[in-house]
Structure 1
């Protein structure tokens, strides 16, 4: 990626940050006036998370596309889902968890390249990469469900409800998203290898 492209990506990243930040801040303020304290608390937690991501990005230098996807996920989950009431729409939660599986799969690929080095990671067989991304996404979906469980128990959220099927379907959705990411990344890696030869 050239310098101009990098600058353009950073501009999009900052625009996404401010767009989501303003939306979540407005939603938090609205929930405050509606006296919905649990959602106000969730809003403040989300704003704190976004500030931490923005500060951390100055040191980690993650790909701007990945960070924009993260901000998009926050907007969908908290802005549209929690504040906008879209969790009442059938299968909105399924779409969100599939999206999170794709997001986790992409994140796992970035992590693998960071841990092994870009050159060495490009030599890994596609079968290993597919298995690694798939397992990482499934594990991430499990961790997410543990966080939802902790939030429900400690802060009286209602992320999991009372139906254990919801947890299992969420993990299946995350697994599907991880499989999509794994296939896409492995095919893109193969294409890049063939074009460089």
Structure 2
């Protein structure tokens, strides 16, 4: 499986499966007459397509591990949690999502560093240690930024994303930070083995 993921074929099949599942959900909820769920399926397909468009416009290629994590995150958050209503089935699913987001954002930080250091006009000196530290700090910072966003929308639009609780806010940040730390440790191990399969392109 890992070999397929590195080569990108596993990711291609995974993404195709998500499109098919979104199509099945659209038809099913259309027949059932449940409009919100039907349009949720359309939104999922739109998000998958938007990611491809953004990558093409920015001329960026996600390395295989990041692409796999993003697709898995979409499956968990948009299909299991929202489309199928698993928030009431799986305890602390929201915390799992924040933990996983820390992993993804750490890889995104690594991608940003990789893209910056690969630029012909860039003065950035490539360094594995710097790449890992940047990835970690980027992910932890984004966990905080997301909570600022939730706090702002709750205040402005009367939402309840943070359940009106500091405990919920801090727990989300902690979960995201734990995901970032674990991913950074994984990158450290790969660096010591003198191989970084996570930066293999798809």
Q: TM-score, normalised by structure 2?
A: 0.73
Shift of 1:50: 0.7
Larger helix proportion of the pair: 1
Residues 5 and 65 of structure 2 are in contact (CA less than 8 Å); yes or no, is this contact kept in structure 1?
Answer: no
Task: Provide the aligned length of Structure 1 versus Structure 2.
Answer: 185
Shift of 1:112: 0.7
| Partner in structure 2 of residue 13 of structure 1 | 11
Residues 11 and 64 of structure 2 are in contact (CA less than 8 Å); yes or no, is this contact kept in structure 1?
Answer: yes
| Partner in structure 1 of residue 200 of structure 2 | none
| Partner in structure 2 of residue 70 of structure 1 | 70
User: What secondary structure is seen at the aligned counterpart in 1 of 2:167?
Assistant: helix
Change (3 A) 1:113 1:15: same
Off by >6 Å, runs of 4+ in structure 1 = 5-8, 150-158
Matched, 1:102 2:103: yes
CA distance in 1, matches of 2:83, 2:46: 17
Greater shift in the superposed pair: 180-189 or 136-145: 136-145
| Partner in structure 1 of residue 171 of structure 2 | 169
| Partner in structure 1 of residue 193 of structure 2 | 191
Greater shift in the superposed pair: 153-162 or 28-37: 153-162
Greater shift in the superposed pair: 145-154 or 87-96: 145-154
CA distance in 2, matches of 1:45, 1:151: 20
| Runs of 5+ consecutive residues of structure 2 not aligned to the other structure | 196-202
Residues 69 and 103 of structure 1 are in contact (CA less than 8 Å); yes or no, is this contact kept in structure 2?
Answer: yes
| Runs of 5+ consecutive residues of structure 1 not aligned to the other structure | none
Shift of 1:114: 1.2
Residues 129 and 182 of structure 1 are in contact (CA less than 8 Å); yes or no, is this contact kept in structure 2?
Answer: no
Change (3 A) 1:25 1:164: farther
Greater shift in the superposed pair: 103-112 or 136-145: 136-145
Residues 4 and 10 of structure 2 are in contact (CA less than 8 Å); yes or no, is this contact kept in structure 1?
Answer: no
CA distance in 2, matches of 1:117, 1:129: 12
| Partner in structure 2 of residue 35 of structure 1 | 34
Please provide the CA RMSD for this pair.
Answer: 3.3
What whole-Å deviation, never above 9, does each CA across 1:77-109 have from its counterpart, x for those lacking one? 110111122222212222221111111111211
| Partner in structure 1 of residue 61 of structure 2 | 61
Change (3 A) 1:163 1:179: same
Q: TM-score, normalised by structure 1?
A: 0.75
| Partner in structure 1 of residue 42 of structure 2 | 44
Shift of 1:7: 10
Change (3 A) 1:22 1:6: closer
Greater shift in the superposed pair: 98-107 or 82-91: 82-91
| Partner in structure 2 of residue 90 of structure 1 | 91
